[in-house]
Amino acid sequence: MRLRILSVQDLGSGLIFMSFGAIAVVLAPSYHIGTALRMGPGYFPLILGGLMVLVGAALILRSFRVTDPPPALPRLRPFAAVIAAAAIFALIVDSAGVVVTSIVTLTITYSGVRGGNRRELLLLCIGMTAAVCVVFIYILGMPLYIWPPLWN
């Protein structure tokens, strides 16, 4: 008999949950498990990890039985733009200074928006970068460079 996936939601989330549960079950014994009287740091994770694997498995099984309407197809562009913008922010913020980081983050995110234009982007960068410098550096005194420190 061929199994048909009726619920992408159950299958997909079930796989995610099962992998998290598996990680917990595999790693928990390396911490001390202990007994019910004196629970070690591994006790709770082992139990919940096991439960997580079971619930994940139940969801995967259910995906062949219960029908859900198919989810809206993901679009790559907005996803990639937001994730890349935040990831690059994390990578460069400590070394590149706020001005460069802000402009890069804004530009990458903006590239994920449909129907943008250069003038709007330019205004966005100028306005937001100035706002960030004033609010976070001058008023709140966050310890960040404004300009990249070239020869440190």
Q: Which residues pair with 39 in a beta bridge?
A: 34
φ and ψ of 148, to 5 deg: -60, 130
Calpha distance 50→47 (Å, rounded): 5
Vertex 131: Cα angle to 128 and 134 (nearest 5) = 150
Count of positions on this chain that bind other proteins (CB under 8 A): 75
| 96 makes contact with other proteins (CB under 8 A) | no
In the list 29, 116, 130, 134, the residue contacting other proteins (rule: CB under 8 A) is 116
| 1 is a contact residue toward other proteins (CB under 8 A) | no
Q: Which is nearer to other proteins, 1 or 92 (CB)?
A: 92
134 lines the binding site for other proteins (CB under 8 A): no
Residue from the set 1, 3, 140, 150 that interacts with other proteins by CB under 8 A: 140
